[in-house]
Structure 1
Amino acid sequence: MSIVVNLDVMMAKRKISLGELAERVGITQANLSILKTGKAKAIRFSTLEALCKELGCQPGDILEYQAE
């Protein structure tokens, strides 16, 4: 199984930069970059909630399951 992170797609739709989103959510640009590239092993619900709030989306808009 594979979880795909579509954070870059949502950021492009909302026209927001990595630095601006990181500042608004309260995490470092480095950690947001790790999440955006799909290299993160986990995400806190509080971080996911903050991302959804700032991007005006649902968790399913950011995270997607794809069968291998």
Structure 2
Amino acid sequence: MTENYGSSRVVGGPLVKITELDHIGLRVKDVEASLRFYSELLGLKTERVDEWRKGEIGFPSVRLNADT
């Protein structure tokens, strides 16, 4: 499902101000390629990859920092 919100803006600014982000989920066609991109190119730490490869969990993760 894809939503298109266009380029409209709320008069007076955004309704909320995001100050932190805990996690997001991305659906990708090639998880292995995505893991390489985030870990090798961007330098993010991977987590739960072995468990995902064994089919024990539904998805692997990458960590932005120790607080996320």
TM-score normalized with structure 1 length: 0.27
Higher helix share: 1
Larger RCO (CA under 8 A, 6+ residues apart): 1
TM-score normalized with structure 2 length: 0.27
Asked which structure has the greater CA Rg, the reply is: 2
